[in-house]
């Protein structure tokens, strides 16, 4: 437990209760309190943050809504879930899957849509195919430790993946299906990032009930000969995903 008062910027436009919720969330992520462990009492936390009980309860309500803590009548507040973020390092899909397996974490894709669709001018251009060529559209929800953290939309040239929509993806994994069924394995990726606020329909799929920041990751994957394989747009929830990269 922190022995000194924790600084909260009371002149910030960010509401005080939100700052406190963020601080407590970060302390849980750093394992100051483990899952099923009781966090300090209201008296201790209000003293640490120099706030009123009303403000603290607002912060705890936010964490309760997020499923991070649970309140037990007569016993106190306990950690229910450690919201450690999914770390995205821009690896190729096969490398990313391997790293997650080794770390003991699971990123599980849930298939929502798999269908043929007509050409989309900017997508066809990115995939370097004819303006009239049909596409395959795949939409998936990504669960990290059973919580939705990402919504992915992918497009591929139908001619490269014939009949892919006729049967389920292998383990709901597009990269595994491309590699094992079509002998297509990307060798490189080009990525771009953009901060967004998802629309209401996407927030509903991500099981988020209020406006949250998110990152839109647009990617084009290429085969060894630089033939474009896939164009994707993935919305990653801001508080659930951490991006890391190295620059040489």
Cα-based distances in Å from 189 to 71, 111, 201, 236: 45, 22, 28, 17
Domain that holds residue 62: 16-79
Same domain, 52 and 109: no
83 close to 105: Cβ distance less than 8 angstroms: no
222 close to 188: Cβ distance less than 8 angstroms: yes
DSSP-H helix ranges across 118-170: 121-126
User: Considering its fold, how many domains does the chain have in total?
Assistant: 2
SS3 state of residue 35: coil
Question: Residue 6 domain-assigned?
Answer: no
**Which are the contacts of 217, defined by CB distance < 8 A and separation ≥ 6?**
88, 191, 192, 193, 232, 233, 234, 235, 236
Question: Residue 5 domain-assigned?
Answer: no
pTM, to two decimals: 0.72
DSSP 164: G
Hey, which bits of 59-106 come out as E strands?
Answer: 69-72, 76-79, 86-88
Give the CATH number of the domain where residue 137 resides: 3.40.1410.10
User: What number of residues does the chain have?
Assistant: 248
Per-residue pLDDT of the chain (248 residues; tens, 9 = 90+): 445 678 899 888 889 999 999 999 989 988 999 999 999 999 999 999 999 999 999 999 999 988 899 999 999 999 998 887 777 877 766 556 555 555 555 788 999 999 999 999 999 999 999 999 999 999 999 998 788 999 999 999 999 999 999 999 998 899 999 999 999 999 999 999 999 989 989 999 998 877 778 999 999 999 999 999 999 999 999 878 888 877 76
Q: What is the pLDDT of residue 90?
A: 76
184 close to 241: Cβ distance less than 8 angstroms: no
Question: Residue 112 domain-assigned?
Answer: yes
């Amino acid at each position: 437990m922190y022995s000194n008062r924790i600084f909260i910027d009371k002149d910030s436009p960010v509401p005080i209760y939100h700052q406190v919720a963020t601080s407590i969330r970060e302390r849980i992520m750093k394992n100051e309190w483990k899952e099923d462990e009781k966090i300090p009492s209201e008296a201790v936390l209000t003293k640490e943050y120099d706030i009123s009980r009303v403000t603290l309860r607002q912060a705890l309500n936010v964490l309760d809504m997020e499923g991070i803590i649970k309140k037990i009548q007569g016993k106190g507040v306990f950690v229910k879930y450690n919201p450690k973020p999914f770390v995205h390092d821009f690896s190729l899909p096969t490398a990313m899957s391997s790293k997650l397996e080794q770390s003991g974490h699971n990123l599980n894709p849930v298939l929502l849509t798999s269908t043929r669709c007509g050409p989309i001018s900017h997508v066809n251009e990115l995939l370097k195919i004819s303006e009239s060529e049909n596409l395959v559209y795949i939409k998936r929800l990504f669960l990290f430790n059973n919580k939705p953290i990402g919504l992915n939309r992918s497009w591929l040239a139908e001619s490269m993946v014939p009949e892919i929509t006729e049967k389920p993806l292998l383990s709901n994994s597009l990269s595994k299906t491309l590699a094992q069924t079509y002998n297509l394995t990307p060798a490189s990726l080009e990525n771009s990032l953009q901060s967004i606020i998802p629309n209401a329909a996407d927030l509903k799929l991500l099981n988020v009930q209020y406006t949250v920041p998110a990152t839109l990751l647009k990617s084009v994957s290429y085969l060894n000969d630089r033939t474009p394989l896939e164009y994707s747009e993935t919305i990653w929830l801001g508080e659930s995903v951490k991006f890391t990269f190295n620059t040489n």
